[in-house]
Chain A
């Protein structure tokens, strides 16, 4: 007995805490362009190494290199830059609005703009995304009216969801944006079900499921992979590894012991690990996975390696659990800056044009926010009707709810 090892519990710790020098030495960043691009009908087993590598297209000089460099025209690249920038400026504005008390909470996606924007640009109309609350880029990339988004965030008189939902829990069926839920992971499984339906009906539409690094620990993640592997429906399963789940680093979701992409291989699902701050890599890999799905070749799991540059939400203070300057040391840089550099290298963009675009988009966002404000902000001005509280619980209001509505005097 005395020779027994005394057991101890392993509780992973992030590489740095407040006051420490940020340390990302554990993130291996391969050179851009070196990872091969397999055929879309490749067997999952033949690309196992890609789950442990990192697909990157834009190199440090801003040049697109390697087999994954997509063939896209200048207008497409400029559009990508424009929607990512718009997403960030939208976030900046709504962050400020929350601080001004115009809404109760807001969530930014700073640093992750490339992932949602580029994948949306690779999808087609009719495809359905099952987003988390950090994929606002899916709407903005489609030029979705910002006023409508802000009306929802303000829960005002023009909020389509009539004040029933938390801010930024959008629902936009016509834009392929499934209703957001507060319960983590649930939509990942539902995206697989939607894709199964598309396959059952012999349709050509694909689903795109989204989950964060932390939520991969939810049972829904496992169920989604089982069903995706079993029925091979047309779904792209996106894991956005932004390193943080509120205050919890990705190692607590066992991201240190094994990355998130490699989990797909236990299910024989082709799985790729990609530089999430590289707009061109995100677009190229999304396109590859979407094409696979559309050709009935089944699901793909993608880990997007990125960094949550802002606080978790407006209710969170990240300086309490990570170095204040950690984002500046993130080895994959900033997605907007990197695409901008690429456009400048290509000779189709310059600093002056970038400033002008920033100014123009800021003005657009400001105008949208002002217009939304004219319809009310949370608790001020016109609100959604109180009676809306009782609507849409069921298709038709049952007697007991009619009674309660009368009791509430609305």
Chain B
């Protein structure tokens, strides 16, 4: 049976939901072993072994893996892959940083952002900002894949009871070090896993207007907040709010685009949402071509009215 090593996405304290999506992708190829690499990750390992459908958990607990530096974790993964046929990581910033380094060290192609598993070595993936879907077949001995989280359902976080075993690698490669992080604080649901997302565009004018218009609506709906690239570039919100080809890919049940025209770049990040609602005063805006529900109105009157009536 095909043996699949799946990268567990975590912050050294909690297992991230992206892992659960990657487990589903990995399980479509074969038996899944989760790799928890980090520093002080006992709690993450505990959560990992309970994930349904996971056969085993490997834990590499070493200060060198704490920041998931690709220079340090890629050799560890390559070493472990001697016993596996495939490596699957969620297409998160860690996954995208690490997987190609692993693939090159193994001299195999890497397959980015897969949407579906079509066969043992056949996958679909989006190209040209999601304007085309390619079906590709690997000819390599080992597979190295990143999986688009919105393409695969979440595995159940509980119900499993996998055996946990420690592993160790070469540790610090001595090429890079972690200096620091600036985490954007948010009380709202995480953008990529929220059931409802409210996004704002350039029409919001400035940071204050964005906050006073979009946040009350998001809070009423318990929604995550997103933004178009124009809104991020104009400084209304931090860059990790960006939805699009160059930002985050989301597929919530309901996506509400407020004051967003609907450029190709933005659509690439949200057009797989179940229901798309657009509020825009320009009735010819491209966003209306993909919106299930459109309201042609000035957002400054429509959004507050919407908030008051919810």
> Are the chains A and B members of one assembly?
no
Chain B residues near A (Cβ < 8 Å): none
Residues on A lying within 8 angstroms of B by beta carbon are none
